[in-house]
Amino acid sequence: MRLVIRVGGSVIASPPNPDLMLRYAELIKELRGRGHEVAVVVGGGGLAREFIELARSLGLSEQEQDELAISISRVFAQALSMKIGGYQWRKVPTTIEEAAKILRDRGIVIMGGIRPGMTTDTVAALMASEIGADLIVKATDQEGIYTKDPRKYSDARKLDEISFNDLEKILAEDRHRAGIHQIIDPEATRILREKRIKTIVVNGFNPENILLAISGVRIGTIIQ
């Protein structure tokens, strides 16, 4: 299978979690060993948001705030990439085209953000569309997608399955703001719906969940 794994910064980077990053490095190698092609998109998590705050305090523009967040996501991508492939793999792609080429050459690519005004969910969606991915797995800090924000509402219910159309209705029409946190962003959802790319949202604190999702076990929330 051709896979895109979107690893939330909230999972590996808030705060930076070396144990979990090691487990992700093993997981990615394992998936490659099973013959899959694996594109990984990591976010910058809490550290990226701290830099967004810093940029705001410095009076920098939204675009500049995003640029800093992108840099942070790339540092996490670089660390993971070097752990998997060694020093040779220290270069993190900065465009979708570059990432697709690395994927063709190596069967694995690890990237962060690409340009201001989007989230890494959208990067994952664009990448999935570029490579014709069979599946995106989003590894996040929740068990899946809920009817409401589970951090705010105790009666929020986890959905086992949802259509892209229904998901678009749930997501508030939010203008992009640096550091915005939604379970999956509306722009990414639109791309995935248009391209009909199956997406599964799982709890990323247990990387095993990704293996389960890929092998067809019903886990997290399946969007299709």
**Which stretches of the chain bind ligand UTP, using CB under 6 A?**
8-10, 43-45, 48, 66, 69-70, 73, 113-121, 123, 140, 178-181
- CB nearer to ligand UTP: give 107 or 206: 206
To ligand UTP, the closest distance from the beta carbon of 86 in angstroms equals 25
- Residue 216, by phi and psi: left (phi above 0), alpha (psi -120 to 50) or beta? left
201/221 Cα distance (integer angstroms)? 5
Tokens 């990237």: give the residue.
111
Question: To 10 degrees, what angle do helices 186-195 and 120-131 make?
Answer: 10
133/53 Cα distance (integer angstroms)? 34
- CB nearer to ligand UTP: give 107 or 129: 129
- CB nearer to ligand UTP: give 7 or 135: 7
To ligand UTP, the closest distance from the beta carbon of 154 in angstroms equals 21
To ligand UTP, the closest distance from the beta carbon of 215 in angstroms equals 24
- CB nearer to ligand UTP: give 18 or 34: 18
168/214 Cα distance (integer angstroms)? 24
To ligand UTP, the closest distance from the beta carbon of 142 in angstroms equals 10
- Which residue number has the CB closest to ligand UTP? 43
To ligand UTP, the closest distance from the beta carbon of 34 in angstroms equals 25
Helices (H), the chain: 9-12, 18-33, 45-57, 62-85, 96-106, 120-131, 164-170, 186-195, 208-214
- CB nearer to ligand UTP: give 81 or 119: 119
93/96 Cα distance (integer angstroms)? 8
To ligand UTP, the closest distance from the beta carbon of 179 in angstroms equals 5
- CB nearer to ligand UTP: give 120 or 199: 120
For 76-92, give one letter per residue: b (16+ CB within 10 A) or e: bbbbbbbbbbeeebeeb
